[in-house]
Amino acid sequence: MSGLSIENLSMRFDIPGGGSVQALQNINLHLKEGELMSVLGPSGCGKTTLLNIVAGFLAPTEGKIVMNGHDVVGPAAERGMVFQQGALFEWMNVRENVGFGPRMKGMPKYDMAEKVDHLLEVVGLKDFKDKAVYELSGGMQQRVALARCLANDPDVILMDEPLGALDALTREKMQSLVLKLWKETGKTIILITHSVEEALLLGERLLVMAPRPGRIHKEYRLPFADLGVNADLREVKKHADYNSTREEILNMIWNMEEEIMGRAEESA
């Protein structure tokens, strides 16, 4: 079966002093090839944990991840990752960062240079090839991170709040770029965010998670990502369903947060 399956996934962290945290409980999910899913939820609901298990950095306590028919046992080039800022290699310039994956595979220099040039053009950084990454702005650094991930041609791209540290304007531009790259490359993407707007705009599917234990609360299928590919994101926000869905999700998360606070007060 092609695509990515998350099967009966549970994750429990044992805390050194005794006790444990049920970070994820019985998650089941299937992503078809080329789907873009955004994941939303109050902080601490296990989003990062879920992504780290899919990436292969963590082994789940129960269940498994199946990708294109084989079990995931560790990180691999088929599942690329885009982190929040700070995961670029500052000892390499922009070109070397983007060419890192191909270089590790031993791709011939000439092919690699061509690929890097192309990707830098796609993300709009062609004039910054030889710059050091620390000379770039936060938005540009995330463009490099995207290009670096794409250079490796992964089947699935995992993003953990990739735009979380950017200012509002840069963020909007980057959201358009993500949509454009998604359509052009046809990659499967899982994108974690804590912005409801971002989840709505970018998520063809939108997963709302609930905390303690981390679980899937509700799933949406949304038209906005497809609309956004060819339109201004601000236009998309004027869509009739946009605001009502946004209100609904905001309420949902608001209530979860209230519940967490309530429980905290009870136990205190």
Partner 1 sequence: MIPALIYLAIFGISFAVVYTIRARRGRNDFTARKTVTFGDESAVAPDRAASIFSVITIFLLWGIFTGSSLVPGWLHMPGPFAGVAEFDYTARNADGDTDTATVTVLVHPIDQKPEPLEVDPGDGWAKNDNALVGIWRSGLVRVDRNDDFTRDDGAEVIEVNGQPISPGGEVRTDFGRIAMSPKGTLNVEPAKGWQMEPIWLPSPEAVFARLTEIAQEGFRGSTLWEHVGYSLMRVIVGFFFGALVGIPLGYAMGLSNWFRGWFDPIVEFMRPVPPLALIPLVIIWAGIGEAGKIILLFLAALWIMAIAARAGVSGVKISKVHAAYSLGASKWQVMRYVIVPNSLPELFTGARVAMGVCWGTVVAAELVAAEQGAGMMIMVASKFQNTDIVIMGIIMIGVIGFGIDVLMRMAERWLVPWKGRG
Helix 138-151 with 109-122: angle, nearest 10 deg: 140
Residue 50 Cβ vs ligand ADP, minimum distance, rounded to whole Å: 7
Closest CA to 68 of 27, 26, 33: 33
85 binds Mg ion (CB under 5 A): no
Task: Return the number of the residue (26 or 48) whose C-beta is nearest ligand ADP.
Answer: 48
Give Rg (Cα) of the chain. Answer: 19
Binding part of the chain for ligand ADP, among 2-10, 39-47, 70-78, 113-121 by CB under 6 A, reads 39-47
Question: For residues 210 and 41, is the Cβ–Cβ distance under 8 A?
Answer: yes
Instruction: Count Cβ neighbours within 10 Å for each residue of 113-124 and write b for 16 or more, e otherwise.
Output: eebbeebbebbe
- Residues 89, 167, 223, 258: which binds partner 1 (CB under 8 A)? 89
107 binds partner 1 (CB under 8 A): no
Name residues contacting ligand ADP, limited to 5-24 (CB under 6 A): 13, 15, 21, 23
Task: Return the number of the residue (21 or 229) whose C-beta is nearest ligand ADP.
Answer: 21
- Residues 1, 73, 77, 261: which binds partner 1 (CB under 8 A)? 77
Task: Return the number of the residue (123 or 252) whose C-beta is nearest ligand ADP.
Answer: 252
Residue 105 Cβ vs partner 1, minimum distance, rounded to whole Å: 6
Closest CA to 60 of 4, 5, 3, 12: 12
Residue 194 Cβ vs ligand ADP, minimum distance, rounded to whole Å: 8
165 binds ligand ADP (CB under 6 A): no
Residue with tokens 């990515």: 4
46 binds ligand ADP (CB under 6 A): yes
36's enclosing H/E stretch is: strand 36-40
Binding part of the chain for partner 1, among 100-108, 111-119, 216-224, 253-261 by CB under 8 A, reads 100-108
Cα angle value 162/220/192 (rounded, 5°): 15
Give all strands (DSSP E) within 54-203, no chain letters. Answer: 62-67, 70-71, 79-82, 156-160, 188-192
| Torsions phi, psi for 220 (to 5 deg) | -120, 155
170 binds Mg ion (CB under 5 A): no
Amino acid at residue number 64: K
By the criterion CB under 8 A, which residues form the site for partner 1? 55-57, 74-77, 79-81, 83-84, 86-91, 100-101, 104-105, 132, 134, 148-149, 152, 154, 158
By the criterion CB under 5 A, which residues form the site for Mg ion? 48
By the criterion CB under 6 A, which residues form the site for ligand ADP? 13, 15, 21, 23, 41, 43-49, 214
